[in-house]
Chain A
Amino acid sequence: MRKRLAVPVLSILAVAASLLVGVPADAHGYISSPASRQANCAQHKTSFDCGDIVWEPQSVEAPKGSMQCNGGGSRFAILNDNSRPWPTTSVGNNVTFNWVLTARHRTSTWEYFVGSTRIGVVNDNGATPGATVSHNISLGGRTGRITVLARWNVYDTGNAFYSCVDLQVGGGGGGNPTPSPTPPTNPTPSPQPTSSPNPPSGTTWTAGTAYAVGATVTYAGLSYRCLQAHTALAGWEPPNTPALWQRV
């Protein structure tokens, strides 16, 4: 009976939702560091296409109790694919997990798992999370490449937010390297494109380039001088950003 009802109700909601295209996605939080799988996707640091998760890493919401990186279901299933070469972060035995929140839900618990073992739990007893959320979790002496599954259990709904974090534990030491079946680790992520802070004058404006005050570029046939040091981004084209670029 419930199932039969579900279809019409959902389709009504779907129509209503698209009528109100207005309603932003229901989205709430993920682990920013060490980089979770969705955080790596959002930085385009994977060697494969992550799909929609790229622009909404905060949206991995699913019913509580799943042990999968996407929380179960079909959405964002790429996050479950352990055959992908997910970038790892090198860490020691104690790791501080930092969360980005886009909505502050009352929280029951924050749970951390390796495999089926819960290695950490923080009980908020229904409190609203503070401005930032960080938990220091012991990995219990595990070494090598591991994946930590984190679950943010919301207090007043049946849902949780899921983040998986790929770690290389204790691999950086000297005499006893742990063989790893995974691709090279990425301990010092630097998403900034490497470029000269003072590219030759008169080059074409390019996203990803660091421009110093006074640098000149051309864009769409016109010349501009940089007013404020910055790394150029798509959307910050000179004609769109009079605060950064002046026509010359």
Chain B
Amino acid sequence: MKRVVALAAAVLVLAGCGSTEGAAPAAQPPAASALGSPPPISPSGAFNDTDVMFLQMMVGQYGPAAELLDLARSRSTDQKVRELAAAIAVTQADEARTMRDWLATWKQAPSPAADPHLHEGHGGLPATGPKEIEALRGAAAADFDKTFLNLLIGHQHQAVEYARMELGGGIHSGALELATRVDQTRSSEIAMMLGMVA
């Protein structure tokens, strides 16, 4: 039953996240992905709902991450943590700009418009909300790094999930390339941060 509910929610989410209205036609009908292999990369710059959803979910992720990263850059007492936070902050700012530009070019909303409750339960919306950012802001100095690292590790895991989703179903070559880099960089960042939190 839970699966059915989750699936229904997922369908609604997809409906909410991506709309093909006004989109360039997908190069391949969705049935192709039911066979288990990703659809072919579009040679013509076309995109599909998965590309749109990937960009929207990523764009939704950057804001909370930027807040966590800003706090870490100013409050962490560990130079390695500050340096990593600073590098993640600037690289993600560039990614976010690229993704917003594509969504605008494609005439798609910059963020998933669906009711956020629909995303609960399948890792949909960012795990980092105002409550978590407040918790980090209020963390005692001695607990700051641990709090920051555990929050950002969870946050970056979500980006990996979105990237894997895109790599399995997207067709836009630029979005696929970006997803590959999101997957690589977040996985490496998580490994570094797990080492720092230990």
Q: How far is the CB of A14 from chain B (nearest CB, A)?
A: 9
> Which of A16, A20, A44, A240 counts the most B-chain CB atoms under 10 A from its CB?
A20
Inter-chain contacts of B6 with A (CB < 8 A): 26
B184 at interface, CB cutoff 8 A:
yes
Residues 210-236 of A at the B interface (beta carbon under 8 Å): 228-231, 233-236
Q: How far is A42 from B7 in the complex, measured between Cα atoms in Å?
A: 28
Q: Which residues of A contact B (CB under 8 A)?
A: 13, 15-29, 32-35, 39, 42-44, 54-58, 89, 98-104, 130-132, 134, 157-158, 189-192, 207, 228-231, 233-236, 240-244
Segment with Cβ contacts to A, from B19-27, B99-107, B152-160? B152-160
Interfacial chain B residues near A131, Cβ < 8 Å: 131-132, 134-136, 147, 151
> A192 near B192 (CB under 8 angstroms)?
yes
Interface residues on B, range: 35 or more
CB of B90 within 8 A of CB of A244, answer: yes
Give the top 5 A-B pairs by smallest Cβ distance, nearest first: A21-B169, A131-B135, A235-B184, A243-B90, A191-B195
Give the distance in Å from the alpha carbon of A231 to the alpha carbon of B34 in the complex: 40
Contact of A132 among B14, B18, B135, B155 (CB under 8 A): B135
Task: Tell me the nearest residue of chain A to B193, going by C-beta.
Answer: A32
Q: Would B123 and A103 count as touching, CB distance under 8 A? A: yes
Chain B interfacial positions (CB closer than 8 Å to A): 2-4, 6-7, 10-11, 13-14, 17-18, 30-31, 33-36, 38, 49-50, 53, 80, 83-84, 86-87, 90-91, 93-94, 120-124, 127, 131-132, 134-136, 146-147, 149-151, 153-155, 157-158, 160-162, 164-165, 168-169, 180-185, 187-192, 194-195, 197-198
Residue of A nearest to B191 (CB): A43
Specify which chain B residues have a CB less than 8 angstroms from the CB of A190 in the assembled complex.
195
- For A25, the closest partner residue in chain B by CB is B161
CB of B167, distance to nearest CB on chain A (Å): 9
Q: Chain A's nearest CB lies how many Å from the CB of B4? A: 8
Closest partner residue, chain A, to B6 (CB atom)? A26
Q: Which residues of B contact A44 (CB under 8 A)?
A: 191
Check B198 against A33 for contact (C-beta < 8 Å): yes
B54 and chain A: residue at smallest CB distance: A22
Closest to B143 in A: A132
Q: How far is the CB of B97 from chain A (nearest CB, A)?
A: 10
Are the CB atoms of B83 and A229 closer together than 8 Å? yes
Q: A21-B169, A24-B165, A230-B87 are in contact. Are A130 and B135 (CB under 8 A)?
A: yes
Output the nearest chain A residue to B125 by Cβ-Cβ distance. A103
Are A20 and B91 closer than 8 Å at their CB atoms? no
Known: A43-B195, A191-B192, A228-B90. A22 touches B135 (CB 8 A): no
In the complex, which residues of chain B have a beta carbon less than 8 angstroms from the beta carbon of A57?
157
Q: Is the CB of A25 within 8 A of B164?
A: yes
B157 lies within 8 A of A100 (CB): yes
Give the docked Cα–Cα distance between A234 and B191 (Å): 12
Chain B contacts for A191, CB-based, 8 A: 191-192, 194-195
Chain B residues with CB under 8 A of A235? 180-185, 188
CA distance A222 to B79 in the complex (A): 30
The CA-CA distance from A134 to B147 in the complex, in Å, is 10
CB pair A19 B34 closer than 8 Å: yes
What's the Cα separation between A105 and B4 when bound, in Å? 18
Q: Is the CB of B10 within 8 A of A234?
A: no
Minimum Cβ distance to chain A for residue B71 (Å): 12
Residues of A within 8 A of B30 (CB): 19
Q: Quick one: closest B residue to A104, CB to CB?
A: B127
In the complex, residue of chain A having the shortest beta-carbon distance to the beta carbon of B133: A131
